[in-house]
Structure 1
Amino acid sequence: MVREYSNIKERLGLVVDKKTTNEMAYLTHYLHNHKNGVSQYFKAPAIEYLTILHRELNIAKEPDFQYYLPIKWDIPFPPRENPKFKFIDLFAGIGGIRLAYQNNGGKCVFSSEWDPYAKKTYEANFGEVPFGDITQISEEFIPDHDILLGGFPCQPFSIAGVSKKNSMGRAHGFLDETQGTLFFDIARIIKHKQPKAFMLENVKNLVSHDKKKTFKVIISTLERLGYNVYFKVLNGKFYVPQNRERIIIVGFKKSIFKGKEGFKFPDPKEYKHSFKDILEPEVDDKYTLSDKLWDYLQSHAKKHKAKGNGFGFGLTDLDGISRTISARYYKDGSEILIPQKDKNPRRLTPRECARLQGFPDEFIIPVSNNQAYKQFGNSVVTPLIQAVAKNLVMEILKINESNQSEISVC
């Protein structure tokens, strides 16, 4: 008998909130991976957690997981039936990068995200609760994978004189240079797991941070881990009506590809998107700015203009593209305001924010407006990532096919 994931959630009382711990991550990861060779990473803790739930809910004893398997994944973005490769999703956010790689035929075997509200959105759409703070997770716990993915936050750091030990206590050799930053956690996982490839995403300013020293350390670290590294600043405006520049870093394992990978970044030459295309036809008046807030934003912009600064609100050209949306959009919506006839401007709705980042309309938004604004502001332009993924995955599949041919010959 096939059971729906939504019914299993209801039966077990699974709720993602601030109190959610890794037990639920173990359970959902096992349900996703019980047949693909990585179940040993999750099975024992998942069974223990399920036993506890049965006892607490007074559910009659059931034979391990056999009662729940197989599962019908009644979620917007179910796992691929016959995946072509495996990947892990670090600093997962709400799953924008995961979505892009699933669409290119991949299977996620591990996800990690510290924010409980982002976890809630992630689970609602993918049926999986990410593990928590990656700095507290040993690299030995991470399943084998073909591609490591991470939209990691870049915290400012000093290259010279780093002395504080990382919370994992694993920094050594050249990794000392990235100690204390979240990039260190990516480096230690790559060092231990040696994936065939990786893709990292960050803000454009990472390239110039600390007189380019930060970026130099990151690239040299990845190269010394044994990878050919490619990077490029790409703009989301070629995929959605938003000017959004991000640095994308891609690496291929030298011992596997022998420097023969044919990877190239997508290079679109023109964009034909109009901001009005992402707008909802009917919008509640609550999104219209109050007179007080609108007066404040105009006054604030006027003061900065008088000083020669460019700070101020952004009244969007509906036939053009918008500014970059950020996590602070929930505060006043000032960077992207929509003009209205005979009314004050309004801010975007959460659904419009999702569309501005390229998320399909079936993407569930289970959190408050403020949390949704933060989540989409922190996320990625999914069709841009999908375009990069297409080219990266092409190289992975060539290697996989080549390895399979060698096995067949033997």
Structure 2
Amino acid sequence: MKKTICELFAGVGGFRLGFDRLASNWETTWFSQWEPGARTQWAHDCYVQHFGDSPDIDGEYHTGEDISTVDKSKIPDHSLLVGGFPCQDYSVAHTLASSKGIEGKKGVLWWQIRDILEEKRPPFCLLENVDRLLKSPAKQRGRDFGVILACFAELGYSVEWRVVNAALYGAAQRRRRTFIFAYNDKNTKYGKKMAKVSAEDIIKSKGFMVTAFPISEISDFTSTEIGNDLVDVSDHFGFAFENAGFMSGGKITTAKIKEHEEESIKLMDILEKEAVAEKYFIPSDKMEKWSYLKGAKKIERTAANGHKYTFSEGPVAFPDPWDRPGRTMLTSESTLNRSTHVVADRKTGSLRLLTPVEAERLQGFEDNWTNTGMPDRMRYFCMGNALVVPMITRMGKVLDTIITAEK
């Protein structure tokens, strides 16, 4: 089996870079990156500068267009579909035209993944999402992830998932993300082999995720069944998904695991050693505002219905400590808000923001990866949207052995 990849919602190429670092002949046959509402497609342009563009099977270029407008049959074949897609409302309803048809909410990108799975039937799939995916929405816990699993089951795929804290596996950031690995049950040797392994053993010791991300403890297993009637799942399904699990043939098994902690990269290890430009330092007249935003608060508020309540939040370390990995970086990094990292400069000790290069290091990219003509603000935005590249390389090593066995 050829090692070919289709990369969706590609950003600045974190998935591709992670596989390229393996130097094991993975080839990306097509990608898609489009930022809605953006005048300049900075991430797409950055991706192309590093890797070049990708034509479809007709030799046309549609990688920088809304994926919903792309003819899925024109996407080149691939053995692995990858992508980091947003956590959205995955509810579905019957179409007006047919009681058997379904439609998801407009703009929800999961359905573009499903359409490609249905059209191209790749043997394997590797996806990334936020950790809250497993518990959304608040009023029907587990429904959204249930819809995703039902889609995979309907198309004949089995699925593993794990919530991974990148810092516990050697990275510089305490970023928690849900990784989803799916494989075709009948059209892969791997699927046929894993059909003989219990769900408990897959989660505990023999599966894809535990091989890439070892565990130290595991709780009792819980299970449930899910059908492939997506409307029924959307309307009624709810389940307490834990941070590790497996689904095959509609049977879901899940367990709470404790990750095996490896030595992480500390924040001090990614800070620039040379002099940093003055524009990244916090002016004295802004220090009080920063202190307020980072501090603990109890604020009396009144709801729209007149109900009075107390809004409270705990403190955020100010500045961020050098001796531990960084916090999760958001797309708002570098702006005046609670979540932005503030560090003591190595040379001066004065408080400042992370530089774009340090933001890249926090995600495991090479220095100046996003220095492709985009403004600093967009460099931070792209890194806040990115994934931790070394986590992809870890999973890629396991995929190398799986793909090799498919030959």
> Structure 1 length normalisation: TM-score?
0.70
> Map of 1:260-339 to 2, 5 A cutoff?
260-261=193-194, 263-265=207-209, 266-268=212-214, 269=260, 270-282=262-274, 283-302=276-295, 304=297, 308-310=312-314, 312=316, 314-332=318-336, 334-335=338-339, 336-339=341-344
Tell me the secondary structure at the aligned position of residue 319 of structure 1: coil
Encode CA deviations 1:135-177: one digit per residue, 9 max, x unaligned.
Answer: 1101111111100011112222434x46589xxxxx9957535
**What is the identity, as a one-letter code, of the residue corresponding to 1:348?**
L
> Structure 2 length normalisation: TM-score?
0.71
User: CA RMSD for the aligned pairs?
Assistant: 2.6
2:363 pairs, out of 357, 362, 370, with 357
Instruction: Work out the CA distance in 2 between the residues paired with 1:354 and 1:91.
Output: 18
Instruction: Work out the CA distance in 2 between the residues paired with 1:207 and 1:107.
Output: 31
Q: Mean alpha-carbon deviation: is it higher for 302-311 or for 321-330?
A: 302-311
Q: Structure 1 pair 339/172, CA: closer, same or farther in 2 (3 Å)? A: farther
> Map of 1:194-209 to 2, 5 A cutoff?
194-209=121-136
Tell me the secondary structure at the aligned position of residue 4 of structure 2: strand
**What is the identity, as a one-letter code, of the residue corresponding to 1:121?**
C
Q: Structure 1 pair 280/114, CA: closer, same or farther in 2 (3 Å)? A: same
Instruction: Work out the CA distance in 2 between the residues paired with 1:87 and 1:289.
Output: 43
Q: Structure 1 pair 281/162, CA: closer, same or farther in 2 (3 Å)? A: farther
Q: Structure 1 pair 180/281, CA: closer, same or farther in 2 (3 Å)? A: closer
CA contact under 8 A between 2:12 and 2:370: conserved in structure 1? no
Partner residue in 1 for 2:119 = 192
CA contact under 8 A between 1:333 and 1:348: conserved in structure 2? no
Tell me the secondary structure at the aligned position of residue 334 of structure 2: helix
- Structure 1, gaps ≥5 residues long: 1-82, 166-170, 402-410
Tell me the secondary structure at the aligned position of residue 6 of structure 2: strand
Instruction: Work out the CA distance in 2 between the residues paired with 1:174 and 1:314.
Output: 53
Partner residue in 2 for 1:31 = none
Tell me the secondary structure at the aligned position of residue 248 of structure 1: strand
Partner residue in 1 for 2:161 = 231
Q: Structure 1 pair 305/320, CA: closer, same or farther in 2 (3 Å)? A: farther
CA contact under 8 A between 1:242 and 1:322: conserved in structure 2? yes
Instruction: Work out the CA distance in 1 between the residues paired with 2:335 and 2:291.
Output: 16
Tell me the secondary structure at the aligned position of residue 176 of structure 1: strand
Instruction: Work out the CA distance in 2 between the residues paired with 1:297 and 1:184.
Output: 41
Q: Mean alpha-carbon deviation: is it higher for 261-270 or for 119-128?
A: 261-270
Partner residue in 1 for 2:401 = 394
Partner residue in 2 for 1:46 = none
**What is the identity, as a one-letter code, of the residue corresponding to 1:231?**
W
> Map of 1:157-172 to 2, 5 A cutoff?
157-159=90-92, 161=93
Partner residue in 2 for 1:140 = 73
Please report how far the alpha carbon of residue 181 of structure 1 lies from its aligned counterpart in structure 2 after TM superposition. 1.4
Partner residue in 2 for 1:92 = 10
Instruction: Work out the CA distance in 1 between the residues paired with 2:99 and 2:11.
Output: 29
Partner residue in 1 for 2:254 = none
Q: Mean alpha-carbon deviation: is it higher for 261-270 or for 376-385?
A: 261-270
Question: What percent identity do the matched residue pairs reach?
Answer: 29
**What is the identity, as a one-letter code, of the residue corresponding to 1:149?**
V
Please report how far the alpha carbon of residue 392 of structure 1 lies from its aligned counterpart in structure 2 after TM superposition. 2.2
Q: Which has the higher contact order (CA 8 A, sep 6+)?
A: 2
- Structure 2, gaps ≥5 residues long: 36-40, 55-62, 195-205, 215-259, 300-310
Encode CA deviations 1:30-89: one digit per residue, 9 max, x unaligned.
Answer: xxxxxxxxxxxxxxxxxxxxxxxxxxxxxxxxxxxxxxxxxxxxxxxxxxxxx9511101
2:20 pairs, out of 98, 102, 108, with 102
- Relative to its length, the structure with more helix (as a share) is 1
Encode CA deviations 1:214-240: one digit per residue, 9 max, x unaligned.
Answer: 011111111211111111101110232
CA contact under 8 A between 1:232 and 1:249: conserved in structure 2? yes
CA contact under 8 A between 2:90 and 2:147: conserved in structure 1? no
Partner residue in 1 for 2:232 = none
Tell me the secondary structure at the aligned position of residue 144 of structure 2: helix
